[in-house]
A and B are shown apart, each in its own frame.
Chain A
């Protein structure tokens, strides 16, 4: 997030898109709901499902799946045509405005209505509301990123925020909501194929040299590494021979699971380090048992970049180790001595090579976490990014055209499928499914379908239905709901026995490598 969670309550307008906030970030959603209730904040929800947050919205827009660039360009078309953009901000803080203006020119509300299904006059209303706000915040999540053009979607959101000057101010910002406790930290710490900690590029020889000196090694690679979504096909083709997987369950979370399973089985050697025997661990040659969060010390970085402490509360169940210690032991056995007294010693090392964490110490975050960048031990941290300038200096507008999703509904697969999470389960369920109460509330895989679609396919609430795509099929229980919009069904991806990802399309965003989980074509038929 460019801004803090607390900042949300200071916005006059909040645009929520591609985020089912009340189910996936319930505590954060209360900031939005309180702002509506007590400050009269206006909320615009743009989502393919009539999610609960739409009840709190002044404007709810339902876009066709994958049409986000179109409606965002449409909003900008209206804003520029009506002169509602922040000319001062555009002139002093950005570049590329003319190109943007030219590109969005053809995205008139009427044209956008054809693509997105959003009524022209509603789009105009939303554009005016967002542009005229003193401070408007954008909250988004995987509904924006999990598309074959997800990067375009995110850039379009940034375009909109810059156009209206809603950046670098309290209550503004472009705020991705991180779905896992430490996605932010995994990225910050170099858990990515293209960057070292603090996003220092691997392709820069000077950076490689810096890390060679810090780690006392030579020969660090300056080639880009493989993304997870490249590793799987490479495993399939036999180019990738071994995988060491720490705390991940790709055999439920990857797209087009049938293909992913074949690929992983094709590896020469698979090591899985986890707290449970997951679907992925079952395939491993060696399984290494790790401590869970309640048994370890360390830090997590939350969605607002706040580095917070994790503390040991209980003893682990057997002879299981900290994840860092296991990895260090393997490294040491492979020739690089990696010995640390405790997690704080690791942190002390990492902050010497991670400039944005340099000023953070366990002592300083004992009571309240600090949002990075925090450059030295006197630095207070940075709640709001891009206050005076952007990372690259001036903010760059990206002129982007709409491209349709990779798969369209047709005669054979007439319905659209979009996927996501439920309130009562989490990701692949390896943790939440151990709590009986959560299973009681969300016991099995459902397919959420509109009353009209249910009537068309003669389906009753609670009956089993087969859902099939070009890649696979699963059985799920029909849940007739007015949250669903006719023509689109929703399936949560938590349930391994009815894995939604057997259906999803592995078409990738060319930049981020994120799969198009949010759009594919399916058909329904009565389960045998």
Chain B
């Protein structure tokens, strides 16, 4: 195939639109080119080089996320040279920090010593907090590599745990920059960026201050973007494991934007919230309330049974008792003072179905139009 807008990937011809990158074309046709730093919706940086491909006639491997598709380009995504490069990149990354998944140690070197060192750094004897939910781990399995090919690098920055929401574990950061893009290009909160240069490079907030003393608003976009265990929700760290959770998609209960959320359920409880990617209105983004403000669901202060007040004190009642009392009282007030002596406040917090029923109840049962809600307040 040699038409104007055709590219060959792994021997198959695909058409493309001007502006498409090699990665775009591949993804559109379910060809799986691995990426680490690539963040949908943000400008590709080509920083991690994981998405390199071999292009006929090119002197070096090219980052597919940053290389525009061109007419008659011939691309191989898993050639021996590509695979060899990816393996080396992964080995370097695995050796660069506390990546204590089962991958490390599989080459037969000192597994125990490494684990003990990481446990000491973590203050925990668990495996990595994102075990099973880590892009680096996935790729290490896919390419069958471990971290022993290179000497492990010293971890130079301590963990940051001084804010209530996010743990920043620099020992697991691979400096892919997804969090920086999530913060600067998606949420545009401009709170974090690359700091220092060369080997000491670190993702910093303000002048390397803790997040809580920076412009960070704890939206958690960076946590959702982090492909490894460097940024983890504080409460979910170690406590929430993907193989023990299920996800239910619903709509956020706070403001009127209506963000689509996944509630992560473990042991019958909501333990974590993430934004639903790729769909309007929020395309994965959330704010601090939507992502972290879910404790009220399982608060011990939730009302658990109907209550009736007697002599100024509440006592628990059965549903029948409470409902009979309400129906009886409203009925007798209606009879004595007329329907318009009763009002109903429905709620901007409950569903359409529930508002519809409140509207029907007020008008068809009470026979008044005295119904309103807090839209005005």
To the question of whether A and B form a pair in one complex, the answer is: yes
> In the complex the two chains form, what is the Cα distance from A281 to B186 in whole Å?
41
CB contacts (< 8 Å) of A56 on chain B: these are 188
Q: Which of B186, B252, B341 contacts A30 (CB 8 A)?
A: B186
Q: With A227-B376, A292-B296, A319-B319 known to touch, is A286 a contact of B326 (CB < 8 Å)? A: yes
Nearest-Cβ distance from residue A510 to partner chain B, whole angstroms? 13
Interface residues of B in 235-276 (CB under 8 A from A): 248-260, 263, 265, 268-270
Question: A226 and B370: CB pair below 8 A?
Answer: yes
CB contacts (< 8 Å) of B352 on chain A: these are 182, 185, 188-189, 298-301, 307, 347, 350, 357
CB contacts (< 8 Å) of A307 on chain B: these are 352
CB contacts (< 8 Å) of B270 on chain A: these are 294, 313-314
Closest to B375 in A: A183
Question: B357 and A310: CB pair below 8 A?
Answer: no
Question: B364 and A223: CB pair below 8 A?
Answer: no
Q: Does B367 contact A (CB under 8 A)?
A: yes
Q: Does A477 contact B (CB under 8 A)?
A: no
* Interface membership of chain A positions 408-442, coded 1 if the CB is closer than 8 angstroms to chain B and 0 otherwise: 00000000000000011010001110111110110
Q: Does A512 contact B (CB under 8 A)?
A: yes
> In the complex the two chains form, what is the Cα distance from A528 to B343 in whole Å?
41
How many residue pairs link A and B with beta carbons under 8 A? The number is 471
Q: With A193-B369, A253-B374, A432-B289 known to touch, is A276 a contact of B303 (CB < 8 Å)? A: yes
> In the complex the two chains form, what is the Cα distance from A322 to B319 in whole Å?
13
Question: B256 and A327: CB pair below 8 A?
Answer: no
Question: B250 and A313: CB pair below 8 A?
Answer: yes
Question: B254 and A181: CB pair below 8 A?
Answer: yes
Q: With A178-B255, A438-B289 known to touch, is A248 a contact of B265 (CB < 8 Å)? A: no
CB contacts (< 8 Å) of B322 on chain A: these are 286, 288
Binds B, one of A85-93, A121-129, A267-275, A461-469: A267-275
Binds A, one of B133-141, B148-156, B167-175, B305-313: B305-313
Q: Does A171 contact B (CB under 8 A)?
A: no
Between-chain CB contacts (< 8 Å), 30 pairs: A6-B280, A22-B217, A33-B188, A180-B255, A181-B348, A181-B349, A183-B373, A184-B256, A189-B352, A192-B373, A220-B363, A220-B364, A226-B370, A244-B343, A244-B344, A289-B303, A294-B250, A300-B253, A304-B258, A314-B297, A314-B298, A322-B354, A333-B326, A334-B365, A338-B357, A367-B279, A368-B279, A426-B293, A432-B289, A440-B164
CB contacts (< 8 Å) of B363 on chain A: these are 190, 196, 202, 211, 220-221
Q: With A294-B250, A330-B330 known to touch, is A241 a contact of B341 (CB < 8 Å)? A: yes
Q: Does B165 contact A (CB under 8 A)?
A: yes
CB contacts (< 8 Å) of A241 on chain B: these are 333, 337, 341-342
Closest to B331 in A: A334
Q: Which of B293, B343, B346 contacts A432 (CB 8 A)?
A: B293
Q: With A242-B343, A302-B258 known to touch, is A181 a contact of B251 (CB < 8 Å)? A: yes
> In the complex the two chains form, what is the Cα distance from A440 to B235 in whole Å?
14
Q: With A286-B308, A288-B306 known to touch, is A244 a contact of B342 (CB < 8 Å)? A: yes
Nearest-Cβ distance from residue A30 to partner chain B, whole angstroms? 5
Question: A306 and B250: CB pair below 8 A?
Answer: no
CB contacts (< 8 Å) of B289 on chain A: these are 423-424, 426, 432, 438
Question: A287 and B293: CB pair below 8 A?
Answer: no
Nearest-Cβ distance from residue B147 to partner chain A, whole angstroms? 34
Closest to A220 in B: B363
CB contacts (< 8 Å) of B253 on chain A: these are 181, 292-294, 300, 431
Q: Does A194 contact B (CB under 8 A)?
A: yes
* Interface membership of chain A positions 223-262, coded 1 if the CB is closer than 8 angstroms to chain B and 0 otherwise: 1111111010011000111111111101001110000000
B residues near A, CB below 8 A? 163-165, 185-188, 212, 217-219, 234, 248-260, 263, 265, 268-270, 279-282, 285-290, 292-299, 301-309, 314, 319, 322-327, 329-331, 333, 337, 339-377
> In the complex the two chains form, what is the Cα distance from A246 to B371 in whole Å?
11
> In the complex the two chains form, what is the Cα distance from A287 to B367 in whole Å?
23
Interface of B is mostly: mixed
> In the complex the two chains form, what is the Cα distance from A482 to B373 in whole Å?
35
15 additional contacts (CB under 8 A) given A221-B339, A346-B357: A27-B290, A33-B187, A182-B355, A189-B359, A192-B372, A226-B372, A247-B349, A285-B309, A287-B314, A302-B258, A329-B323, A330-B365, A334-B365, A426-B255, A430-B296
> In the complex the two chains form, what is the Cα distance from A28 to B165 in whole Å?
22
CB contacts (< 8 Å) of B248 on chain A: these are 311-313
> In the complex the two chains form, what is the Cα distance from A228 to B377 in whole Å?
9
Q: Does A500 contact B (CB under 8 A)?
A: no
CB contacts (< 8 Å) of A311 on chain B: these are 248-250
Closest to A217 in B: B364
Question: A309 and B347: CB pair below 8 A?
Answer: no
Q: With A231-B370, A424-B289 known to touch, is A330 a contact of B304 (CB < 8 Å)? A: no
Question: B288 and A26: CB pair below 8 A?
Answer: yes
CB contacts (< 8 Å) of B351 on chain A: these are 182, 185, 296, 298-300, 310, 323-324, 343
Q: With A30-B187, A242-B330 known to touch, is A185 a contact of B355 (CB < 8 Å)? A: yes
Closest to B188 in A: A33
CB contacts (< 8 Å) of B299 on chain A: these are 276, 434
Q: Which 8 A-B pairs have the closest CB atoms?
A: A302-B258, A178-B256, A318-B304, A225-B369, A298-B351, A437-B164, A247-B347, A333-B327
Q: Which of B285, B292, B323, B364 contacts A437 (CB 8 A)?
A: B292
> In the complex the two chains form, what is the Cα distance from A196 to B302 in whole Å?
32
Closest to A232 in B: B343
> In the complex the two chains form, what is the Cα distance from A311 to B276 in whole Å?
14
